[in-house]
Amino acid sequence: MKKNPTSILGFLCVLAILGIIYTTMMPQYISKEEEALAEFSTERALNQVEIIAQKPHYVGSTNHELVANYLKLELNRIGLETSTQEGFTLNDKGLLVKSKNILARIKGTNNTKALLLLSHYDSAPHSFSKGASDDASGVATILEGIRAFLYSKQPQKNDIIILFSDAEELGLNGAALFVNKHPWAKDVGLVLNFEARGSSGPSYMLMETNKGNQALVKEFSNAKATYPVSNSLMYSIYKMLPNDTDLTVFREQGNIQGFNFAFIDGHYNYHTQQDDVQHLNKTTLAHQGTYLMPLLKYFSNIDLNATTSTQDDVYFSIPFSFINYPFDWVMPMTLIALGLLILFIFIGKAKRLITFREIFKGFVPLLGSIIIAGLVTFLGWKIVLQFYPQYSDLLNGFTYNGHAYIGAFVTLSIAICFAFYHHFSEAKSTMNHYVSPLLLWIIINAVIANSLTGAGFLIIPVYFGILLFGIYVFTQHYSLGMNLLFGIPALVIVSPFIVMFPIGLGLKILYGSAILTVLTFGLLLPIFGSFVKKGAWTMFFFAVSIGFFIYAGYHSGYEHGKAKSNSLLYVYNANTNSAVWTTYDVNLDEWTKSYLGEKNQKAVGLNSLPLASKYNSGFTYSAIAPVVDIPKPTISFLRDSVIGNKRYLKIRITPNRKVNRYDIFANPKMTLYNFKANGVSELGAKTNRLEREGAKILCYYVVGNEPLEMEFYINKASIFDMDLIESSFDLMTNPLLKVKPRSDWMMPTPFVLNDAVLIQQKIKRYVAPVAPIVTAPVVDSLAIAKDSLKPAVVKPQ
């Protein structure tokens, strides 16, 4: 233990354990196209992705209809009869769209409730996304899985419903249409939803249930998925994100529970032009298949009525296994851990192995490391953003070199730990100082037991640490092998969160990874605390951290495949007959500057009617643009009458060009009642008063240039004050504007209305201009012609 080679061996063993953990989270092989027809083939699924994701296929596009037709043909090809469901829905966020769901059903022999397989087939609008990961990968997983399932002629008791939903990217409208309007919805007992929020990494299982998860956890464990990656903390993290899936609609509006399977790494490709087949990780697609096949076989044959419960379980995965226990155990386990630690402390004190003085001294390097590592990382990332302001171009908060920054700040945090323990802890005091991180972890778990019970599994590595401490107290002996063995739970359970937090929540949360790194270091103190020459290890990890920073800096630029996102819109104000170019970008580039100029003039007044976007992005800069002849919509007041103290209005807005979206606004002082758009009311509305925030009423995504028709009541005394913004996604192809293409290292910014031609105008009655009255000049009868009184001039004869 006192020789440096032992320290090196311990370090290498920790690295090896981490390597095993990360490589066993998901399959490392690709099943080929030659795979037996009764088995899931990743290559066959990838072929489906290539066909579906050839071009962007957002709602309202020509390719969207082509993909829908292709999916029907593919389901027919494997022997299934398909049907479609079409209709308008208006969700609680004011999103109106006509969705087209694609369905098929496989009858079971003894149906309890139906198992529904779910993925959406529309791609994200605005950003030229081809939707390979999100969500052609999910659709392809289901197509290939169902094909293999049918070919194998597996016994099947429950009906299986396949739903390729529409308009998920807009507002989960296709799922809402099915849950609220389709007769099959009442038959569904469980949903398996395949999704993506990135293009690589392991696929995480996330449950959605209105009641307890205990039965779902039990049945998922029984299904024996080969590579389960999940824990009961992840759903809480998932709910913190600005994301919902179609499964959320099933849970909230249909009280139908289920499982999401989604991968989140490669987040920088999410909803972008780079969401193509080339960026989709094949092993990630294979991981989706390893979930579907065992779960399809299992849940199609059990009583799905038995998957509901009122109790919750804590659960977590380890390589090739899945562990769960009741929520009720969390607090008792924490108290027992505290009791065991106190018992071992007093036994150690009786044997003169442990002293309270050394225990308290152990808090100095621990708390010092936590505070300094957290502050250095928090401020360090702020400094990085000052050096590389272009990182703010990516709205999702995770840069192309983000993994390098995780490595940089994690290794810097480890260097800080070694520096503190070098100055404030000796190897002979390691087990005394080990008490402080164990106590801190118990305190953390006590807080968790009361406020975030799903994270209760974090007590497991603490138990192993306490047992290791107890063995030392009773035997006065510990070894590298024993330390490594008892440290494995900390590496397996805690260390994945160090990487997952910034990937899932963005690099702004790196300080959380730094703090968690220090806490993990504390659990592994018997290993690292016994390292000799901690100063040398400090310098080693500091040098590794510098190496990561250098690597990140070298790869901080943009290139094809790692493109810079930018935005440009043309906005014509029909009220003032003026036009501007505008952008959401903070950092302008050569392409945007060619339209917005070098002066960076602020976008004044353009944000008064805010357009909906994921991150509430507003316009930043604008510049005067030429006014071109863009056909304005026709606004027709079909009804305008007073009934009692209310005024009833029915308004139709008809496009006179190919359009994709309408945003409708009204003065916040104007209250609307019994609001309908294209014949439908808001789903789940509790009163007849339209609840809204600010001026926005609705956002309508247009299919087939179908007009928008609104009807509602307002108070008779209210002043009618409404606006519209009509958008077409044709900025890059509009012959009137002749916008030049982007460079190949640029791409449209996702999550915002982009590459669009907008018309902004008031919604008011059209009054035909009155022609001026032209009258003939009136001759005054009393007027005397000029010189008429002069004497006549007599010409000589």
pLDDT digits 0-9 by tens, 727-756: 999 999 999 999 999 999 999 999 999 999
pLDDT the model gives residue 787: 42
List the single range of 34-43, 263-272, 618-627, 711-720 with lowest mean pLDDT: 34-43
The CA distance from 290 to 296, in Å, is: 10
Tokens of 2: 């006192």
> Coil, strand, or helix at residue 795?
coil
pLDDT the model gives residue 774: 56
- Helices 246-254 and 173-181: crossing angle in degrees, nearest 10, is 30
The domain spans of the chain are 30-311, 328-554, 561-767
Q: What percentage of the chain reaches a pLDDT higher than 70? A: 94
Query: Where on the phi/psi map is residue 118: left (φ > 0), alpha (ψ -120 to 50), or beta?
Result: beta
The CA distance from 28 to 476, in Å, is: 43
Amino acid at 100: K
Residue 5: pLDDT band by 50, 70, 90 thresholds? Answer: confident
The CA distance from 526 to 523, in Å, is: 8
Residues contacting 794, CB < 8 A, separation 6+:
none
Residue 775: pLDDT band by 50, 70, 90 thresholds? Answer: low
Q: What is the mean pLDDT of the chain?
A: 92
Task: Output the DSSP codes for 498-525.
Answer: HHHHHHHH-GGGHHHHHHHHHHHHHHTH
pLDDT the model gives residue 69: 97
| Polymer length of the chain | 797
Q: Render pLDDT for 613-654 as a digit per residue (tens, 0 to 9).
A: 888 889 999 999 999 999 999 999 999 999 999 999 999 999
pLDDT the model gives residue 614: 82
Residue 789: pLDDT band by 50, 70, 90 thresholds? Answer: very low
Distance set, CA 724 to CA 135, 569, 572, 721, 748 (Å): 31, 16, 12, 11, 24
Q: Render pLDDT for 7-32 as a digit per residue (tens, 0 to 9).
A: 999 999 999 999 999 999 999 888 77
pLDDT the model gives residue 244: 85
pLDDT the model gives residue 478: 80
Q: Render pLDDT for 425-469 as a digit per residue (tens, 0 to 9).
A: 888 899 999 999 999 999 999 999 888 888 999 999 999 999 999
Can you give 122-152 as a three-state secondary structure string? CCCCCCCCCCHHHHHHHHHHHHHHHHHHHHH
DSSP conformation class of 784? -
The CA distance from 328 to 325, in Å, is: 8
Q: Is the pLDDT of residue 301 over 50?
A: yes
Rounded mean pLDDT, 695-714: 96
Report how far apart the first and last C-alpha atoms of the chain are (Å, whole number): 149
pLDDT the model gives residue 396: 87
Q: Is the pLDDT of residue 51 over 70?
A: yes
Domain 30-311 -> CATH class? alpha beta
Q: Is the pLDDT of residue 541 over 90?
A: yes
CA-based nearest residue to 272, from 562, 702, 592, 661: 562
The CA distance from 93 to 97, in Å, is: 12
Amino acid at 144: E
Q: What percentage of the chain reaches a pLDDT higher than 90? A: 84
pLDDT the model gives residue 135: 93
Residues contacting 146, CB < 8 A, separation 6+:
78, 80, 106, 117, 160, 162, 296
User: Which contiguous run of DSSP H or E holds residue 449?
Assistant: helix 435-451
Q: Render pLDDT for 79-110 as a digit per residue (tens, 0 to 9).
A: 999 999 999 999 999 999 999 999 999 999 99
The CA distance from 185 to 114, in Å, is: 9
Q: Is the pLDDT of residue 49 over 80?
A: yes
Q: Is the pLDDT of residue 768 over 70?
A: no
- Specify the pTM: 0.92
pLDDT the model gives residue 786: 41
CA-based nearest residue to 160, from 109, 125, 108, 219: 108
DSSP conformation class of 755? S
> Coil, strand, or helix at residue 645?
coil
Rg (CA), the chain: 33
514 touches 373 (CB < 8 A): yes
Rounded mean pLDDT, 350-359: 94
